Amino acid sequence: MRLLEKTDKDRDISFPKHLFNFSRKIKEELGDSFEQGQDEMIVVFDGDVFEERNQGYDELIKEIEENDIAAISNPNFELFLCLHIEGFYEKYIKSRKSFYEKGF
């Protein structure tokens, strides 16, 4: 697993196309130690952030899935899960309501 920290020089690394290119680069660097058919590369990103703004999104997903696994999450899904934790809304959302109402 490679965790990527967003810095100024790689600010756009989280774009799906950049992640896919990164996965190909890593496989090339691994050479023979990455066994096609045995090892798998999983490209993970939040889909709803990119889906509506990028032409070719569906084609990119298809291209990723030809060689790797596309794991597309939806940030709203995480919120959905959190809202099933007793007291989550009151503790983490409601208590900050005035902050969000100010437009922050």
| pLDDT tens digit sequence for 44-82 | 877 766 655 567 888 888 998 988 888 887 767 777 778
The reply to whether 25 falls in a domain is yes
| pLDDT tens digit sequence for 19-41 | 888 888 988 998 888 887 788 88
pTM of the model: 0.58
Clarify whether residues 25 and 58 are in a common domain.
Answer: yes
The reply to whether 69 falls in a domain is yes
Number of structural domains the chain divides into: 2
Clarify whether residues 53 and 101 are in a common domain.
Answer: no
Q: DSSP string spanning the chain?
A: -------GGGTTTTSHHHHHHHHHHHHHHHGGGS-BTTB--EEEEEHHHHTTT-TTHHHHHHHHHHHSEEEEE-HHHHHHHHTTSTTHIIIIIGGGHHHHHTT-
- Residue 103 is part of which domain span? 76-104
In this predicted structure, the answer to whether residue 9 has a pLDDT above a threshold of 60 is yes
Clarify whether residues 60 and 101 are in a common domain.
Answer: no
What pLDDT score does 103 carry?
A: 59
